[in-house]
Chain A
Amino acid sequence: AQTVTQSQPEMSVQEAETVTLSCTYDTSESDYYLFWYKQPPSRQMILVIRQEAYKQQNATENRFSVNFQKAAKSFSLKISDSQLGDAAMYFCAYRRNAGGTSYGKLTFGQGTILTVHP
C-alpha cells in the first residue's frame, strides 16, 4: 500500500521569507501523481501544485515550487515570498494512475501546519 509521510507537524516563516515543507512517500508504482493541497482553517481544501511522476522537471506555480526526487521518493514544497494568506494546513498527497486496483484515489500525509508571522 502506498504511504505518504510528512515529518513536520508545524512550520513557521516570516512574511516575505521562504519556507520548505517536506514529504516522502512509498510506492512500487511508476505511474503516479503527487500533489500539495492547502486547507485554510474551516475552509475547503484547494490544490496548490501537482507533479507528474514521469516528468523530470519540477513543477512551479507562481511562488510555489516543488523539489521532486523520484529515486529518493521525496516531494518537498517551497513557498517563496511567504504571505499571511499562505497560513494553512498543507497536505502532500499521492495518486496512482490507471491500472490494477486502488487507482484514482488520493492518499494523504498527516499534514503540516504553516504559520506566517508578520
Chain B
Amino acid sequence: DTGVSQNPRHKITKRGQNVTFRCDPISEHNRLYWYRQTLGQGPEFLTYFQNEAQLEKSRLLSDRFSAERPKGSFSTLEIQRTEQGDSAMYLCASSWELGLNSGNTIYFGEGSWLTVV
C-alpha cells in the first residue's frame, strides 16, 4: 500500500495555459476526491467519484475545470486557461466505501501545488 500519489507535486504555469494533475489512489479504493486548498485555509471540496462515476461537483468547479476517472482507477484534474486565482494546492484523496455508506477513513495525498504567474 503506497498511499495516494499525486503528480506533479509542483507546477508553475503562465496565465492562460492549461495544466493537468494526476492522482493515483490507494489500490482498490473506489472513491476518489479532489479538494483545493489555499494557504492558511481549510480544503474546499471540488468533486468526487465512485468508481468511474462523477457523483458530485462543487460550484467552485467552473467550466474551466474538468475531472475524469476513466477506468475507476487513477484520476486527472485539468484546468484550462489558468488564472492567477487558480493558484492553490490541489489535494486528492481516496477511500473505500460500501454502497452509499460514507464512514470509512479518507486518505489524502501530499497535494499538487499550482502557481499561475
Contacts and interface: CB of A to CB of B under 8 A. Distances in A.
Most buried by B among A52, A102, A104, A107: A104
A112 B80 CA distance: 33
A108 B42 contact: yes
A52 B101 CA distance: 13
A77 B102 CA distance: 22
B91 A45 contact: yes
Given A43-B110, A44-B110, A104-B55, A110 B102 contact: no
A104 B102 contact: yes
B56 A52 contact: no
Interface residues of A, number: 28
A33 B95 CA distance: 15
Interface residues of B, number: 30
B31 A104 contact: yes
Q: Would you call the interface of chain B mostly helix, strand, loop, or mixed? A: loop
Nearest to A97: B102
B106 to A, nearest CB: 6
B72 interface: no
B108 A98 contact: no
A111 B41 CA distance: 7
B110 A98 contact: no
B33 interface: yes
A91 interface: yes
Nearest to A93: B42
B101 A97 contact: yes
Interface string B32-56: 0101000011111100101000011
A46 B108 contact: yes
A44 B108 contact: yes
Interface of A: 4, 33, 37, 43-47, 50, 52, 91, 93, 95-99, 101-111
